[in-house]
Amino acid sequence: MINGIELGPYRDQPGHGEAQARDAADPLSGYRERFRIADPELIYLDGNSLGRLPNTTPARVDEVVHGEWGDRLIRSWNESWWHLADRIGGKIAPLIGAAAGEVIVSESTTTNLHKLAGAALALRPERGTVITDDLNFPSDIHVLAGVAARAGRRLVVVESNGVEGPVDALLAAIDDDTALVSLSLTAFKSGYTYDLAAVTAAAHDAGALVLWDLSHAVGAIEVDLGGAHVDLAVGCTYKFLNGGPGSPAFLFVRGDLVERLHNPITGWWGDAAPFDFGLDHAPASGIRRFQVGTAPILSLAAMEPGVDLVAEAGMGAVAAKGRALVEAAAERWAARLAPLGFAWATPHDPARRGAHAALAHPDAWRITQALIEVGRVVPDFRAPDNVRLGLSPLTTSFVDVHTAIERLARIVEAGVHEGYSEERSAVT
Amino acid sequence: MINGIELGPYRDQPGHGEAQARDAADPLSGYRERFRIADPELIYLDGNSLGRLPNTTPARVDEVVHGEWGDRLIRSWNESWWHLADRIGGKIAPLIGAAAGEVIVSESTTTNLHKLAGAALALRPERGTVITDDLNFPSDIHVLAGVAARAGRRLVVVESNGVEGPVDALLAAIDDDTALVSLSLTAFKSGYTYDLAAVTAAAHDAGALVLWDLSHAVGAIEVDLGGAHVDLAVGCTYKFLNGGPGSPAFLFVRGDLVERLHNPITGWWGDAAPFDFGLDHAPASGIRRFQVGTAPILSLAAMEPGVDLVAEAGMGAVAAKGRALVEAAAERWAARLAPLGFAWATPHDPARRGAHAALAHPDAWRITQALIEVGRVVPDFRAPDNVRLGLSPLTTSFVDVHTAIERLARIVEAGVHEGYSEERSAVT
């Protein structure tokens, strides 16, 4: 009990029994205990922003710090580190429907987007526009704007029509002057999820290339890049893949395209013979040509156990649980939050969802603060008015969803949030 | 004794007494035990490629993994991580004669070079050439070539005249069509070290900007970017700063220039208000505008103890020891290695040296392998014919230098290297 708010579990509340039953039937319920749960009372619904720590990660980090760096020193480049980015990329590949050799771990999502968008435009020199829409992560839009401007192209940011149907306006904008279509497969705020195959096909029909940002999709939903014949993709590993804070991102280039594309940042890690130290650059063959500089090994090695856990659980099962968790949140929203002024800011169509949900409320920022401090639930605030619930499939239970939404309802009913400041902190 | 090679210490060998006396008089001799020395018999002369593990680093990594990631989760962004790159940048600044707010930690050296070179060219739109020389790290040359080509400029790679006097040809190449001069302050192979102030002044006299790569200089020699009025610099932290494998790099922009320069990779970490999620990018004020995406926090946090140790020892004392170690290596080369066919491939003028030395020998690759396996000395091989000795001041003793060169001499005298393959491994 904090500030008069009973933290539950709310066994007598409608929906609790169903939540318990769903947990009991959940084939993935055992995965939760394979992650560090420091405070069992805290409900962490931000695994889509920073995933939890896998139990096996600290030992791997210790091995890298003490054994590989401390003891073996430079020899670890040959013994362990040189192929790490390829190996982990090879483990991410099947999670997104890619083949071995089409995925590599490298830098940040942002820098990878910069590289692949630049490379793509060079393949369509005669076309004038890059298409995205306003559901995309703003940083992606900024990167695309920069790349387009430098290449003498125009970025078109299509206005979406809310969270239910942005596709019509988007498809209408793609024409025979479109060089590249770049979108977030699952939108960072609403969770709107495109029909990967349909949008890719429409872009291809117009002769354009596609570049998908999978940051909020990988480890959350089933993605079949190969089936959709996607050209290019990038994505983040510290969200649903539980790779750790700022763990390096990945990039995908379809196998038959890779030798035709050139990395605009021509660094030694993407060179065919980096240790020959020749004065002329020749790109490495294969996906490695999209590497740039020395990878941050501690962060790179630390991400592997998280990827392994998702692979072990199986992407089909993980995605099914994600869908079920979002549906459970929708049920509890309808019962408890809609009457309190929250709008469901995520698609109603389950096929268009990811594994997070957004609740819109005019007082979202103050509510978020109260929910964290008093409610002991950690969601994300997304400006201007979203409380975003990340329902990371491996670490979230159905009772978590039930309890969190009940705490949220009680906080708003009691007006606890009215005691919080409207001023926002730097990072949220 | 391995393969008939006595591993020393060679107490009866000329020079050993002087080495012992120098260690006894060395004010920094106590720093060696503040790093992990897993195998006291192994002499590690590759601290200029990957510095040793500071004793305090594992505890810092544990804190980040267990406490900050595992326990505090997303809250650590506000509590610890958001200002980390600025804080560590602020600690690197005094090591290179920069002011607070002029240095930030970000990505890799390669990507930073790409960003700053691109930004610099936009400030000199009317000038046609970028100048570097063939002593520069090849990756830097490749990046500059890429940036120059995309900006419609021409890269001139000046042919240096060996390791003793590359400056005349360089200065002759700088003219009123030069947009940017970019060099490695200390060359990766020979250790040739430019006169920072003189070359910078010559470039400025011609109206060009300068961009220095400090990778082999920071933590090795005294660098006064402010005194030389340098415009731009980048550098590596996993060498003489002991930041760990692939630890993020840093970049420097002179304070009065920063608001006039624009990062060509317009990602959210360089935005004025990344968490407002606006569709239009506005660069952050100050050096933070050169950030791009989320930093790899484990690798970033792990580098701080190494930077702290160099700062604590004092850059003047560190640089003095580096000079003395290279001079000691030169003495032992003259006595023992010159007669065996090794050339001193580092400047004879101590003012033009860094804290590493290169020994050229036609059989350098096989000798390097034998030196590691039989001699238990780890140098670096640098193609085609250099055995490179990194003499990291905080972790190398004068007796190390004496013993290592004696082992090297005995291996070559005994022809041990002749049993090794001429075929090179992937990473060396």
Question: What gap in Å lies between CA B273 and CA B293, rounded to an integer?
Answer: 13
Cα Dmax for chain B:
73
**Residues of B taking part in catalysis:** 137, 213, 238-239, 388
Collapsed DSSP state (helix, strand, coil) of residue B193: strand
Q: Residue B70, Cα to own-chain centre: how many angstroms?
A: 33
The residues pairing with B360 across neighbouring beta strands, listed in sequence order, are B343, B386
Q: At a CB cut-off of 8 Å and minimum separation 6, what does A242 contact?
A: A35, A47, A51, A52, A53, A54, A219, A305, A306, A309, A310, A392, A394, A395
Rounded to a whole number, what is the distance in Å from the CA of A35 to chain B's nearest CA? 9
CB contact under 8 A, B296 and A246: yes
Confidence (pLDDT) at A400: 98
Which residues in chain A have their CB less than 8 angstroms from residue B58's CB? 62, 65-66, 70
pLDDT tens-digit series, residues A287-313: 999 999 999 999 999 999 999 999 999
Which residue in chain B is spatially nearest to A135 when comparing CA positions? B279
* Pairing status of strand B377-378 against strand A129-133: unpaired
* Cβ count near A334 (within 10 Å): 12
The mean pLDDT value for B293-314 works out to: 98
Which residues in chain B have their CB less than 8 angstroms from residue A69's CB? 50, 53, 244-245
DSSP letter, residue A413: H
Which residues in chain B have their CB less than 8 angstroms from residue A70's CB? 36, 38, 52-53, 58
pLDDT tens-digit series, residues A308-349: 999 999 999 999 999 999 999 999 999 999 999 999 999 999
Which residues in chain A have their CB less than 8 angstroms from residue B298's CB? 61, 244-247, 296, 298-299, 302
Q: Residue B338, Cα to own-chain centre: how many angstroms?
A: 27
A137 counts as catalytic: yes
pLDDT tens-digit series, residues B171-193: 999 999 999 999 999 999 999 99
The helix or strand, by DSSP H or E, that contains position B232, with its residue range, turns out to be strand B232-235
Collapsed DSSP state (helix, strand, coil) of residue A405: helix
Among residues A31, A192, A238, A342, the one annotated as catalytic is: A238
CB contact under 8 A, A296 and B247: yes
Q: Residue A36, Cα to own-chain centre: how many angstroms?
A: 20
Q: At a CB cut-off of 8 Å and minimum separation 6, what does B361 contact?
A: B341, B342, B343, B367, B385, B387, B412
CB contact under 8 A, B277 and A107: no
The mean pLDDT value for B270-274 works out to: 92
Cβ contact A211:A180 at 8 Å: yes
Question: What gap in Å lies between CA A344 and CA A338, rounded to an integer?
Answer: 8
Question: What gap in Å lies between CA B237 and CA B48, rounded to an integer?
Answer: 10
- Examine the predicted complex and report whether its ipTM is higher than 0.90: yes
Which residues in chain B have their CB less than 8 angstroms from residue A276's CB? 383
A302-322 burial, b if ≥16 CB within 10 A, otherwise e?
bbbbbbbbbbebebebbbbbb
Whether A163 has a pLDDT exceeding 90, the answer reads: no
pTM of the model as a whole = 0.97
- Please count the CA atoms within 13 angstroms of the CA of A363 that sit on its side-chain side: 19
Question: What gap in Å lies between CA A397 and CA B80, rounded to an integer?
Answer: 29
Cβ contact B54:B238 at 8 Å: no
Q: Residue B412, Cα to own-chain centre: how many angstroms?
A: 29
Q: Name which of B238, B265, B277 is nearest A110 (Cβ-Cβ).
A: B265
Confidence (pLDDT) at A27: 98
Burial class of residue A59 (count of CB atoms within 10 Å of its CB; 0-12, 13-18, 19+): exposed
Average pLDDT, chain A: 96
Which residue in chain B is spatially nearest to A48 when comparing CA positions? B74
Average pLDDT, chain B: 96
Q: Name which of A61, A77, A267 is nearest B427 (Cβ-Cβ).
A: A77
Whether B161 has a pLDDT exceeding 80, the answer reads: no
Confidence (pLDDT) at A165: 66
Whether B428 has a pLDDT exceeding 70, the answer reads: no
Q: Which domains does chain A have, with CATH numbers?
A: 16-34+314-419 (3.90.1150.10), 58-312 (3.40.640.10)
Which residue, among A139, A240, A281, A288, would best test binding to B if mutated, counting the most B CBs under 10 Å from its CB?
A139
> How many CB contacts within 8 angstroms connect chain A with chain B?
284
pLDDT tens-digit series, residues B133-143: 999 999 999 99
- Band (B1; pLDDT cuts 50, 70, 90): confident
Question: What gap in Å lies between CA A368 and CA A388, rounded to an integer?
Answer: 9
Cα–Cα nearest to A283, from B153, B142, B117, B152: B142
Collapsed DSSP state (helix, strand, coil) of residue B180: strand
Cβ contact A399:A328 at 8 Å: no
The helix or strand, by DSSP H or E, that contains position A358, with its residue range, turns out to be strand A356-360
Which residue in chain A is spatially nearest to B302 when comparing CA positions? A298
Q: Name which of A61, A109, A138 is nearest B298 (Cβ-Cβ).
A: A61
Question: What gap in Å lies between CA A374 and CA A419, rounded to an integer?
Answer: 11
Cis peptide before A94 (omega within 30 of 0): no
- Band (B124; pLDDT cuts 50, 70, 90): very high
Among residues A213, A271, A308, A380, the one annotated as catalytic is: A213
